[in-house]
Amino acid sequence: MAPRDTSKTAVDKLTEKQAKAEHARLEAEIKEHDEAYYQKDAPIISDAEYDAQRRRYEAIEAAFPNLRTPESLSRKVGAAPARGFAKVRHAVPMLSLQNAFDADEVADFVGRIRRFLNLKEDEPIAFTAEPKIDGLSMSLRYENGTLVKAATRGDGFEGEDVTANIRTVKEVPHQLKGKKIPSFCELRGEIYMTKAAFLALNKRQAEADEQIFANPRNSAAGSLRQKDPSITASRPLHFFAYSWGEIADKAAPTQSGMIEWIGKIGFRTNPLWKIVRSIDEMLAFHRDIEEKRAKLDYDIDGVVYKLDRLDWQDRLGFVSRSPRWAIAHKFAAERATTVLRDIEIQVGRTGALTPVAKLEPVTVGGVVVQNASLHNEDYIKGIGNDGAPIRGGTDIRIGDTVIVQRAGDVIPQIVDVVLDKRPKTAKPYEFPTKCPACGSHAVREEGESVRRCTGGLICPTQQVERLRHFVSRTAFDIEGLGEKQVQAFFADGLIMEPADIFTLRARDARAAKKLADREGYGAVSVRNLFDAIDARRKISLNRLIYALGIRHIGETNARLLARHFGTIEALRAALKDAAKDKDSEAYEDLTTVGGIGEVVADALVEFFKEPRNNDALDRLLVEIEVEPMEAVKKDSPVAGKTVVFTGSLEKMTRDEAKAMAERLGAKTAGSVSKKTDYVVAGPGAGSKLGKAKEFDVEVLTEDDWLKLIGETR
């Protein structure tokens, strides 16, 4: 059994060493869950569990600011744009919302706003409240009132251009109404499909022996992402508008006023929205909408509260991946009872053995569920991550009657076992100690709950998974080289490692049997594949690092490493030096990169210590050109700077000052070090001024700071 950890220890009770380890552990787990959800469409934990991990991760960063960086994992939003569509950069990011799951969290949300804005308890505060549509987020750009571009949210910063398809949706106006239309504006909302239309579509799909959709949201997303707009036009899609992005002039000073304006210029807005002026009214609205939920002809999974005053929204700004002035209050998960028929072990790209429950099919919240994640072997035994019992210590056995929940109406999970229905012949499940794919030993590292295959270089599952990851949309993004193609080419020995992808054209030219002769291929498709491969011979450093599939290295850490080291040569040299001694300057430098702790550093060192990994990388680098990653926020005078705020600020709250600095690309820290660029000191500043003098750090007054960033107050 894994030793007890500090995951249940209150954040304010953690030592700095414990916080660093806990932060690294959470980061690794969150990245794994992000990859499972966004890239593999196979989530392994519930919305609530994921949200709890995010909150604890961010709470640790708040208590230990040195762990937070401008590229912190807490800034990650959404998923990368899909293949097959041109990419569109959002002028104003389309961020996600924080979630609340009970009344206390809603009250905390309102309390945080009052504290941030320094509002008195009796000062009136209003919110708009509206149903949270379970659809596909969309941003529509209009210039002089004419629709010119439509894009999905994508990863929040870059989405998919679906302009041709969105023009077929009747509820999206091609021309805005009214006389005072801004010269440009981005209107945002949700594409959705009604429940009745969803059932009718699935009936037609079944009759045509075509794809069956799991729920209305998937059917809406699938309909909009058709390469042929005529297919989209044949699908009954609808659109609710509720927000805006970049806009030349706002028509009203409030959220409610803007919603009314959006309705007047030609959009359909949700008729159930209203203004609420207290926590009690917010909760009453939530109860009312939840009661109406089953009768609505469209899917919702909660309600959204937004601060009504736009000037207060501007002051509150954003945390890493969501606005401070809005929150989604989710509905309780729906449950059903079924029988666990089997437990299947899946081997992931990093060798993790993940147990999956094979269930007697059951409908939960309108979706047929046949599989559910069992997370790890401790979860099956009834043991939590901290070593404490879960489900009262009840284990899960094949043949058990189990309670299945779709938390947040999305992710199937087993939450309990009906013990009085357990078969007498049911035996405790024995988790395999050998990899089912290659027979190598499967071991657990100290402090981990996951068992992993040790045969990384020989395990066929891992080799294929590593190649699939390498060509995935957030890595090399090679069009036409998907899961099926990678599997087939690997099975035939055509692509065994990344470099083989880029030598495929030359080898095919010499081969007796050409790719064009394969079933399902032809001269055109093969030429398109080769062209797509050649188009990716030039790649940014961060994408290359991410594509290598190193454990714990997701998109965020790949960007951090790319920005810190600049070139692949510098990174490899540093890791070679770091591998010699953990007390070396190179290793210390690696662990001081924001977000890169010892767990991640060790994974990097181990990867580059393996000669066969380096040989494979050498062969790859012969075929490609690696570009440095583009810097961000170059135009801000404090971009990339580290700022410490101390003392009492008089023109803004401390939280507001930090938020302002981070919006400008600066990193805020809680302590002064030799890496600090500015100390902004107000009345009552203490020991940090002495540290600033010791490290020769420039000290600014609050007015100096505002002048530096071009802000007037």
Segment 289-299, tens digit of pLDDT: 988 887 888 88
51 lies in some domain: yes
Domain encompassing residue 228: 87-330
Contacts of 389 (CB under 8 A, 6+ apart): 382, 383
Count structural domains, the chain: 5
Same domain, yes or no: 304 and 342:
no
281 vs 209: which has the higher pLDDT = 281
pLDDT tens string 369-382: 888 888 889 999 99
Q: Which of 68-77, 84-93, 179-188 has the lowest mean pLDDT?
A: 68-77
Q: Tell me the pLDDT band of 1, cut-offs 50, 70 and 90.
A: very low
Please indicate, yes or no, if residue 33 is contained in any of the structural domains.
yes
| Same domain membership, residue 56 and residue 189 | no
Domain contains 340: yes
Give the mean pLDDT of the chain.
85
Contacts 24+ apart (CB under 8 A), 260-267: 262/187, 264/177, 264/178, 265/173, 265/176, 265/177, 265/178, 265/181, 266/173, 266/175, 266/176, 266/177, 267/171, 267/173, 267/187, 267/189, 267/239, 267/241
Question: What is the rounded average pLDDT of the residues 207-234?
Answer: 78
Mean pLDDT of all residues in 616-620: 91
Considering the domain architecture, whether residues 269 and 310 belong to the same structural domain is answered as yes
Last residue of a domain, one of 513, 535, 557: 535
What percentage of the chain reaches a pLDDT higher than 70?
Answer: 89
Q: Print the SS3 string covering 87-143.
A: EEECCCCCCCCEEECCHHHHHHHHHHHHHHHCCCCCCCCCEEEEEEECCEEEEEEEE
φ and ψ of 697, to 5 deg: -95, 135
- Is the domain of 264 the same as that of 353? no
- What integer is the mean pLDDT of 85-96? 87
Q: Does any domain span residue 384?
A: yes
Evaluate if residue 81 carries a pLDDT over 50.
Answer: no
Say whether both 559 and 416 belong to one domain.
Answer: no
- Domain's final residue, options 535, 570, 602: 535
* pLDDT at 74 (0 to 100): 62
- Report which listed range, 235-249, 519-533, 618-632, is most confident: 235-249
CATH number, domain with residue 603: 1.10.150.20
pLDDT, residue 3, reads: 38
Beta strands in 331-366 (DSSP E): 334-347, 353-364
What pLDDT shows up at residue 409? 46
| pLDDT band (50, 70, 90) for residue 140 | very high
- Residue 113 is assigned to a structural domain of this protein: yes
Domain assignment present for residue 124? The answer is yes
CA distances from 293 to 29, 195, 296, 463 (A): 33, 12, 5, 46
Question: In this structure, what is the dihedral angle of CA atoms 231, 237, 241, 244, given to the nearest 10 degrees?
Answer: -20
pLDDT, tens digit (0-9, with 9 covering 90-100), for 144-178: 999 999 999 888 888 889 999 999 999 999 999 99
Q: Are residues 544 and 589 in the same domain?
A: yes
Is the same domain home to 381 and 509? no
Is residue 355 included in any domain, yes or no?
yes
Give me the active site residues, please.
132
**457 CA to centre of own chain:** 29
Q: How confident is the model at residue 631, as a pLDDT?
A: 45
Q: What is the pLDDT of residues 256-299, one digit of tens each?
A: 999 999 999 999 999 999 999 999 999 999 999 988 887 888 88
List, for residues 393-443, the tens digit of each pLDDT value.
999 999 999 998 875 445 688 989 999 999 999 999 999 999 898 787 787
Whether 452 is covered by a domain: the verdict is: no
**Same-domain status, 357 and 403:** yes
Domain stop point among 271, 303, 330: 330
For helices 611-623 and 598-609, the axis angle rounded to 10 degrees is: 80
CA distance 74 to 92: 18
State whether 94 and 210 are in the same domain.
yes
Strands (DSSP E) along 528-655, which ranges? Answer: 538-540, 625-627, 642-646
Write the CATH number for 385: 2.40.50.140
Instruction: Tell me the pLDDT tens digit for each residue of 669-682.
Output: 777 888 889 999 98
Of 141 and 684, the structure prediction assigns the larger pLDDT to 141
The winner for highest mean pLDDT among 88-97, 239-248, 571-580 is 239-248
Looking at the structure, do residues 72 and 215 belong to the same domain, yes or no?
no
DSSP string, 538-557: EEEHHHHHHHTT-TT--HHH
The model's pLDDT over 465-522, given as tens digits with 9 standing for 90+, comes to: 889 899 998 899 998 898 889 989 998 899 998 999 999 999 999 988 889 888 888 8
| Same domain, yes or no: 31 and 124 | no
Residue 218 has pLDDT above 60, yes or no: yes
pLDDT in tens, 23-35: 888 887 887 776 5
Q: Using one digit for the tens of pLDDT, what is the confidence trace for 244-257? A: 999 999 999 999 99
Same domain for 98 and 207, yes or no, is: yes
